[in-house]
């Protein structure tokens, strides 16, 4: 697959017409294979899409397969499915599990509430922690359960301690007014971060420590933002458009 085969779109359809929108992803590429009873549909670039929206491939595939009522394995779904149906499913996933319910920014991180019964999205742009915007349908229930399970095992692996320490360290750097939302964040001890790769760990710690003074990546260091995007996109460094650098 080359770049020219891939259409780039905004994360979230409400931004589809905004070509300067900062958050981009490739559209799903869809490969139908087999015939008769052995039909399947492969999504060869779902891992790139997953990196762009910062959610694990298996969670996205779980949602898509449950949404379509088919069996999913790896990046493959049973049966033949059109790109439109899969893009519709992905859009539902993004609205429920990626986009901040408060401000609409897609830079969020799943976490659990104190009782570890509810899935929340923690927004890096506005600082809010809001329940994931799910509907009552089995495919949402399944996906939410899967994400809660991942959060629980990530928290077990980390021993559940180190993050709380980081959250208590305030930042004395300039200007941020303390809002009720940031208070909620620093008090929310029951929450654990989504499992992330080690490169993201440092960024995490910083953002937790500096939540009183939320300044998004692109403002603090464009180079860092570019680098982060390029790392996360692997072979395809040009997918994101950092508007401020133009």
Element (H, E) at 119: strand 119-123
52 binds Zn ion (CB under 5 A): no
Out of 90, 100, 120, 185, name the contact with Zn ion by CB under 5 A.
Answer: 100
Shortest distance, position 57 Cβ to Zn ion, whole Å: 24
126 binds Zn ion (CB under 5 A): yes
182 binds Zn ion (CB under 5 A): no
Cβ-based neighbours of 1, under 8 Å, separated by 6 or more: 29, 44, 45
Shortest distance, position 128 Cβ to Zn ion, whole Å: 5
Q: Decide whether 50 or 121 has the Cβ nearer to Zn ion.
A: 121
Tokens 């449950």 belong to residue: 66
Site size toward Zn ion (CB under 5 A) is 7
Out of 85, 103, 148, 215, name the contact with Zn ion by CB under 5 A.
Answer: 103
Which pairing describes strands 72-73 and 76-78: parallel, antiparallel, or unpaired? Answer: antiparallel
123 binds Zn ion (CB under 5 A): yes
Stretch that binds Zn ion, among 64-72, 124-132, 190-198, 213-221 (CB under 5 A): 124-132
Distance from C-alpha of 175 to C-alpha of 184, rounded to nearest angstrom: 19
Three-state secondary-structure class, residue 239: coil
Nearest Cα to Cα of residue 212 among 240, 242, 185, 243: 185
Q: Which residues bind Zn ion (CB under 5 A)?
A: 100, 102-103, 105, 123, 125-126
């Amino acid at each position: 697959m080359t770049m020219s085969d891939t259409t780039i779109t905004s994360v979230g359809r409400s931004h589809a017409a905004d070509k300067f929108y900062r958050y981009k992803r490739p559209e799903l590429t869809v490969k139908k294979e087999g015939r008769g009873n052995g039909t399947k549909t492969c999504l060869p670039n779902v891992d790139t899409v997953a990196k762009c929206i910062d959610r694990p491939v298996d969670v996205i595939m779980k949602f898509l397969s449950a949404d379509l009522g088919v069996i999913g394995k790896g990046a493959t779904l049973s049966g033949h499915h059109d790109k439109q149906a899969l893009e519709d499913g992905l859009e539902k996933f993004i609205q429920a599990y990626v986009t901040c319910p408060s401000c609409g920014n897609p830079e969020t991180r799943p976490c659990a509430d104190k009782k570890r019964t509810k899935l929340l999205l923690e927004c890096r742009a506005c600082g809010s922690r809001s329940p994931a915007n799910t509907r009552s349908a089995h495919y949402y229930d399944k996906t939410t359960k899967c994400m809660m399970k991942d959060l629980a095992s990530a928290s077990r692996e980390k021993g559940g301690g180190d993050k709380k320490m980081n959250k208590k360290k305030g930042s004395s750097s300039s200007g941020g007014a303390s809002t009720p939302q940031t208070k909620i964040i620093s008090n929310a001890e029951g929450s654990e971060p989504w499992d992330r790769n080690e490169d993201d760990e440092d960024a995490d710690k910083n953002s937790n420590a500096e939540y009183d003074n939320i300044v998004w990546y692109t403002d603090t260091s464009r180079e860092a933002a570019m680098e982060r995007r390029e790392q996360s996109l692997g072979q395809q460094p040009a997918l994101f458009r950092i508007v401020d650098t133009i």
